[in-house]
Amino acid sequence: MKQSGRARPGVTERRFTRTMVLCLAATAVAFGAVVTGPILTQSGFETPLWAVASLLIVFGSPVATAVAALAGSDRGVRAGLVLTSAGFVVLLLTLELGLRSGTLPPEAGAPWILGITPLAAATAALVLPPLAAWGYSLALAALVAVARMLAFPESIADVALQDALVALLLQSVFAGLTLATLRAARSLDAAATAARAQAVADAQAEARAREQRHTDALIHDTVLATLLLAARGSSGAPDQRAAELARRGLQQIEQLAAPTVAAGPVGGQELVWRVQALTTDLDPYAEFVWTVASELELPAMVADVVVDAVAEALRNSLQHAGAEGVARTVVVDVRDRELHVAVLDDGAGFDLAAVRPDRLGIRLSVTERLAALAGGRALVSSQPGEGTSVVIGWRADAAG
């Protein structure tokens, strides 16, 4: 549905508007203290209705608007600004009618309201579009000249014109400063909005990239590993290990499509049990060594990534280290705010520099998976004929 109307001001614009409203209220009170004498003198020549209305609009309305600003009411602030701006115009248009005899005697001086029109111009600049605010200032200056001529006949046209020009100059300064600051505030709000939108887009892109890496790793860890085991199996009875791995792969793929449910943290001892069960399942003859020296708790996602990386390191060793006489060791070390897991073998080893970039294996399922994890890291060391070591680490401090 198409929406219309004025867009909601940004945070910076609202703060500036409220600050400006408070300043205008203080200005109105200060001006009232300065012109108390002329107000009292001229009140005897004014009709009661106009006298009360002028005090309420010139002094009461800015103060009430300031109260609305302090209360955090944007609607109240806008209503007060509109009332003050429109009220000044009405007062100047009805000045002659508001005087009992239609004029002021020379000893009463010029109408006191003509000296505070810059406050009205600044008020209008807060609530009107720029062009309308400038038009308001021009109209107000013209009304100053007309009101002076009608309400104070002793004034000659030149004096009235000079007063109008002085009023226009002061009004332009107040309105111009207000409009310039408003424009700067709106620019800051627009920049902040754009920055937030970019941050959201970057976060979404990073989330999609993480999900893609997770999916790629899952495919490699389960689907390709299952196919490899099946290809190496006999032509007779189904390979139970391949079938079990296939079932796990299907369960993990189904979890990708399932709604995400926040899981609780995983303790260090629980992580040891998970890695031990995994090691026993993949290679029952592997040596398992563990140390839990603290009550470290890992986020569920961190624990999952670590366990998956260990599983891939073991599968990689089983597939490439050699089948006969290879000793494998898995070491888990849980210390204060830090975790280390090492997967070691004394098998054939390989040349890291000779691994093609398109080979997923260790690079995708271990190295990149840990690099994408805050506080995670992985180090792969190997030489032909000297075995392979994969060291997986995570620091709670680095994860923030």
State residue 157's pLDDT score.
67
State residue 218's pLDDT score.
57
Q: Do 186 and 276 share a domain, yes or no? A: no
How far apart CA 249 and CA 229 sit, in angstroms, is 13
State residue 237's pLDDT score.
45
In-domain check, residue 353: yes
State residue 4's pLDDT score.
43
How far apart CA 187 and CA 177 sit, in angstroms, is 15
> Looking up tokens 């021009």, which residue turns up?
138
CB contact at 8 A, 148 and 114: yes
Q: How many angstroms from the chain centroid is the CA of residue 379? A: 36
In-domain check, residue 240: no
User: What's 323's domain CATH number?
Assistant: 3.30.565.10
Q: Do 179 and 36 share a domain, yes or no? A: yes
Q: pLDDT 10s digit of each residue in the chain, 400 long? A: 444 445 677 888 889 999 999 999 999 999 989 989 999 998 889 899 999 999 999 999 999 999 999 998 989 999 999 999 999 999 999 988 888 888 888 788 788 998 889 999 999 999 999 999 999 999 999 998 888 887 766 656 677 788 888 888 999 999 999 999 999 998 988 888 888 778 767 766 765 666 666 566 556 555 555 555 555 554 444 456 556 655 665 555 555 555 444 467 888 899 999 999 988 888 888 899 999 888 888 888 888 889 888 988 888 888 887 767 788 999 999 988 889 999 999 988 888 777 666 555 666 667 877 888 888 888 888 888 888 999 999 988 876 5
C-alpha distances out from residue 265 to 214, 298, 302, 323, 334, Å: 20, 5, 9, 37, 15
In-domain check, residue 214: no
CA proximity to 248, closest of 271, 277, 276, 221: 221
User: Residues 6 or more apart from 224 whose CB is under 8 A from it?
Assistant: 360
C-alpha distances out from residue 36 to 42, 43, 65, Å: 10, 10, 22
Which tokens belong to 17?
């508007």
State residue 210's pLDDT score.
61
In-domain check, residue 182: yes
Q: Do 171 and 64 share a domain, yes or no? A: yes
CB contact at 8 A, 338 and 302: no
How far apart CA 224 and CA 229 sit, in angstroms, is 9
How far apart CA 268 and CA 232 sit, in angstroms, is 36
CB contact at 8 A, 248 and 221: no
Q: Could you count the other beta carbons within 10 Å of the beta carbon of residue 388?
A: 24
Q: Do 178 and 287 share a domain, yes or no? A: no
How far apart CA 298 and CA 287 sit, in angstroms, is 24
Which tokens belong to 198?
């970019």
> Looking up tokens 């009661």, which residue turns up?
48
CB contact at 8 A, 78 and 13: no
Percent helix, strand, coil in the chain (nearest 5)?
65, 10, 20
Q: Do 132 and 55 share a domain, yes or no? A: yes
CB contact at 8 A, 215 and 241: no
Q: Do 36 and 174 share a domain, yes or no? A: yes
Q: Do 300 and 162 share a domain, yes or no? A: no
Q: Do 162 and 303 share a domain, yes or no? A: no
- Torsion, Cα 253 258 263 266, to 10 degrees, reads -10
Q: Do 176 and 279 share a domain, yes or no? A: no
User: Residues 6 or more apart from 260 whose CB is under 8 A from it?
Assistant: none
In-domain check, residue 225: no
In-domain check, residue 310: yes
What is the total count of domains within the chain? Answer: 2
* Structural domain harbouring 380: 265-400
DSSP SS3 for 358: coil
Q: Do 41 and 190 share a domain, yes or no? A: yes
CA proximity to 335, closest of 275, 273, 396: 396
User: Residues 6 or more apart from 52 whose CB is under 8 A from it?
Assistant: none
Q: Do 389 and 298 share a domain, yes or no? A: yes
How far apart CA 359 and CA 362 sit, in angstroms, is 8
